[in-house]
Amino acid sequence: MTKIFIINGGQKFGHSGGKFNETLAAATADFFTEFPDFEVKTTDINESYNPKKEVAKYVWADVVIYHTPIWWFQLPHGFKQYIDVVFTEGHKTGIYISDGRKAENPTRNYGTGGMLHGRKYMVTSSWNAPVEAFTLPGEFFMQTSVDDGPLFGFHRMNAFTGMERLNGIHFHDVEKNINVVRDLALYKLHLKETFLNTEIYEHLSDSNR
């Protein structure tokens, strides 16, 4: 049994109703519940949550799947608050022990104090920016990918806890040229390739505690 923890970080705020990421999170849950070898828990950051129970979900999970829009090149403030609150609650209770350094060698081993080793995580992100803003010479993101640019800190945050990254998927131009049917089809294909591929699935199963 592979345990999947799905977090909807799509915040309802201003002109955003959070519909796209809500739809992705629901599609993720629907995908895994079709298969008896997966168990699912979920969180919506727009709803009230108990930090201790959220820490317990991280500890329980084999894979954490994050769904988030990107606002001003960062996580929405509600999702960032969730992480700040839950990860702080997880200090020495399941997420991390320390930053990993020892007094006798304080310049080495930073970021090795995580408690979530053996877990994996995956992230989807949604953008107003078109994909060409990341890929074409002279465009805004200077040919820097989402993962190596705006989400670099997010990936290192998860590495700090000990989790290993699974390839995610990013959705572009969702405000002006959204195509939900197309994007959901692409996403479901990505889930199949990531989680139903025999080699990857066996690796996930081997990591189960």
Q: What is the torsional sign of CA 47, 31, 54, 72?
A: negative
Residue pair 164/120 in contact by the 8 Å Cβ criterion:
yes
Mean pLDDT, rounded, for 33-42: 96
pLDDT at 30 over 80: yes
pLDDT at 193 over 80: yes
Instruction: Report pLDDT digits (tens) over 121-179.
Output: 999 999 999 999 999 999 999 999 999 999 999 999 999 999 999 999 999 999 999 99
Mean pLDDT, rounded, for 35-56: 98
